[in-house]
Amino acid sequence: MEFLLDTVDLKKIKYYCDKLNVKGVTSNPTILKKAGVGDDLFVHLKKIKEIIGDERELHVQVVAPSVSGMIDEAHKIVDEVGKDVYIKVPTTLDGLEVMKKLKAEGIRVTATAIYTEFQGYQAINVGADYLAPYYNRMLNQNIDSAEVIRNLAKRINLDNSNTKILAASFHNVAQVNEALSNGAQAVTVGPDIVASAFKIPSISQAVADFRNDWESLYGDKNINNL
């Protein structure tokens, strides 16, 4: 299983990289806008790289409307951020052409904006490293996200493909769990959802109960004092 953070907030990236086994960081124009990242895009992306190091992944999206434009943007991102960056490309007809060409150059690719099985199959077929199905957005359009992920996972196994499913666009922790249990090898999750997963009152109560029982036995001593 791979766990990625869907944010460009430097403090939150550092915090959760310290706490969890984080595989990498994903970004898109909406996330950049929310974080107020403007003309200093590459400065900001390099700061993320400094935090996550070379052992973790960084996924950055192209936005140009044409094939040539997306390829030029991909080259710019690779030149600025490094050859180990994953280029996120929308899974349209033009996007699939871009993926083919980038993969032929040895550039890493994440096929994003996936809503249907057919999109996913075509992204697998052009050799995308990751597929990013939009879990909650699919549900909002009455698309069975779990079934799509199951079928894509079956196709990957049948083809003995190296492509991985990187499920994205979650509304809550339950959706993250569903994506993983239905075959997604990876998920990218916003910090707000991660935080909510550990705010269940029962967790805090269990920790408090253990502490109270310890103090009833040993007072203010800790294990090192025994």
Domain of residue 215: give its range.
192-226
Condensed to tens digits (0 to 9), the pLDDT of residues 156-176 reads 999 999 999 999 999 999 999
pLDDT value at residue 207: 85
pLDDT value at residue 93: 99
Catalytic residue among 34, 88, 103, 164: 88
Task: Tell whether 62 and 141 lie within a shared domain.
Answer: yes
State in Å, rounded, how far the first CA of the chain is from the last one: 39
Task: Tell whether 185 and 87 lie within a shared domain.
Answer: yes
Q: How many domains does the chain have?
A: 2
Condensed to tens digits (0 to 9), the pLDDT of residues 29-84 reads 999 999 888 779 999 999 999 999 999 999 999 999 999 999 999 999 999 999 99
Of the candidates 140, 142, 159, which has an alpha carbon nearest to the alpha carbon of residue 131?
159
pTM of the model: 0.93
Quick check: 196 pLDDT over 90?
A: yes
Task: Tell whether 88 and 137 lie within a shared domain.
Answer: yes
Task: Give the mean pLDDT of 188-211.
Answer: 89
Residues 90 and 73: beta-carbon distance below 8 Å: no
- Burial track 31-40 (b if 16+ CB lie within 10 A, e otherwise): bbeeeebeee
Residue 164 annotated to the active site: no
Q: What is the DSSP string of 44-79?
A: HHHHHHHHH-TTSEEEEE---SSHHHHHHHHHHHHH
Quick check: 218 pLDDT over 80?
A: no
